[in-house]
Structure 1
Amino acid sequence: MDESRALQRAGQAGAASVVLLVAGVALCASAGVDDPSLSDAAIVDRVDDGVRQTAAGIGLVVLAAGIALLLWFTVGLRRVLDRLSGGDPLAHAIVPAAVLFGGLMITGVSLDVSSAVAALSDEFTPDPDTARVLGMAGAVVALTGLTGGAVLVAATTRIAQQARALPTWAVWVSYAVAVLCLTGFWSGGMASVAFALWLIGAAVALLRTARRPTSAPTATTSSP
């Protein structure tokens, strides 16, 4: 497979990863406890609902698939950044940053839905306070994963800025997204939405790069 085809598929993987990540979080959220102010009865009904439990199980699989596609995308993105920068070591932070984001995200979501999954067993009786603690722990862990997103955005933007590959407004918007991701828990869902939109933009940019024809090397002739 030539490089252009590989980059195109990596870009498609990036766009698909955003869809799967959003879908996975939405499915799992139906069985999680993201609001500790819910009444005990409401929490027990939520974590002991068979439909919600099934949705959470499917959501974890969808989320894992989305993270796998995100890693595929970042590998392609790193290849483009290597080309832009001429081998800047900063590009090597891209894939580990995505691993950090994906690992903490799926860990946090798993904590959030753990009460609902455990309730599938007749040996476990849902406890509202336990569900509250696990739900809040899951939210904190998942949102802390946006630290990896901040590194991914900042490193990509810095290399693109040095290569003059982005307009000035896009550079500063990207840095604003990185700062927002660092605020994580305190920004609520705004950081997650901003990072998802940035990923879509990066995937589109990667697809455009893949479709751009590569210039043929100039032949040199030696003088007799």
Structure 2
Amino acid sequence: MDEPRALRRAAWAGAASVVLLAVGVALGYLVGVDDPSMSDSDILRRLNDDGRQVAAGFAPPVLALGIALLLWFATGLRRVLDRLSGGDPLAHAIVPAAALFGGLTITGVSLDVASAFAAWSNEFTADPNTVRALGMAGQVLALTGLIGCGVVVAVTTRIAGQAGVLPTWATWVSYAVAVLCLSGFWSGGMASAAFALWLIGAVIGVLRATPALEAVHPTD
């Protein structure tokens, strides 16, 4: 098995996941309602706009692909952490935590765009209050999924910090990102942006660590 190549591919999958997740959320936002104070007329205009409906139709599959790539990256990250820690069982939380984030995110976005999909059929008359409720439910679910991101960040930071491969400033910044993510709904968009930036840093870390890990710990 060519482990360095596999880890590099997992790292690039993580980089691609950042882009796809951002695009998927943006597409869903075209018809979604994340502000309950939005006027009834604005809600109905967004839902019944054919162009927005078509664009939002790509949100779930784009998100699904992004989540699949994130899980691929998570398996590579777990392998790197296994090598750094000598097999710390805590590293096994990485993949389930990423799956928690992915599952709640795609569920939340799907709820948010459900009314637009129904309106597309021309057999559904949207009620603005129902749309508001679905939109807020989707937002709460998606932001709660950031708890999974917080676990990924916290576990990675703990193991990497114990192995001495993170500078002190990076350790504290990472723990701050973990706290933001674990606060879920209350941190809102700040946590999402912070995790995206952290994920890019983690991708770079995996790419840089792969040759060194192979040199110190040859493939079994």
TM over 0.5: yes
Q: What residue ranges of structure 1 are gaps of 5+ in the alignment?
A: 219-224
The 2-side partners of 1:151 and 1:190 are apart by 17
Matched with 1:151 is: 151
Shift of 1:50: 1.0
Deviation sequence 1:93-129 (CA, Å, 0-9, x none)? 0000000000000000101111101111122111100
Task: Quote the RMSD (CA, aligned, Å).
Answer: 1.4
Matched with 1:70 is: 70
Matched with 1:16 is: 16
Matched with 2:141 is: 141
Matched with 1:191 is: 191
Does structure 2 retain, via aligned residues, the 8 Å contact 1:8–1:211? Answer: no
Structure 1 residue identity aligned to 2:28: C
Deviation sequence 1:30-72 (CA, Å, 0-9, x none)? 1101111111111011111111111111121111100000000
After TM superposition, list the pairs within 5 Å mapping 1:99-178 onto structure 2: 99-178=99-178
Shift of 1:214: 3.0
Q: Percent identity?
A: 71
Shift of 1:215: 2.5
Matched with 1:201 is: 201
Shift of 1:6: 0.3
Shift of 1:216: 6.9
Does structure 1 retain, via aligned residues, the 8 Å contact 2:81–2:91? Answer: yes
User: Residues 217, 7 of structure 1: CA spacing in aligned structure 2 closer, same or farther, 3 A cutoff?
Assistant: closer
Q: Helix, strand or coil: the match of 1:28?
A: helix
Matched with 1:25 is: 25
Structure 2 residue identity aligned to 1:82: D
The 2-side partners of 1:214 and 1:101 are apart by 30
Matched with 2:95 is: 95
Matched with 1:221 is: none
Structure 2 residue identity aligned to 1:36: P
Structure 2 residue identity aligned to 1:121: S
Matched with 1:214 is: 214
Which is worse superposed, 50-59 or 67-76?
50-59
Matched with 2:4 is: 4
Return structure 1 stretches of 4+ with deviation > 6 angstroms: none
* TM-score normalised to structure 1 length: 0.94
Q: Helix, strand or coil: the match of 1:214?
A: helix
Deviation sequence 1:174-204 (CA, Å, 0-9, x none)? 0000000011211221000001100010011
Q: What residue ranges of structure 2 are gaps of 5+ in the alignment?
A: none
User: Residues 134, 90 of structure 1: CA spacing in aligned structure 2 closer, same or farther, 3 A cutoff?
Assistant: same
User: Residues 40, 213 of structure 1: CA spacing in aligned structure 2 closer, same or farther, 3 A cutoff?
Assistant: closer
Question: Which structure: larger Rg?
Answer: 1
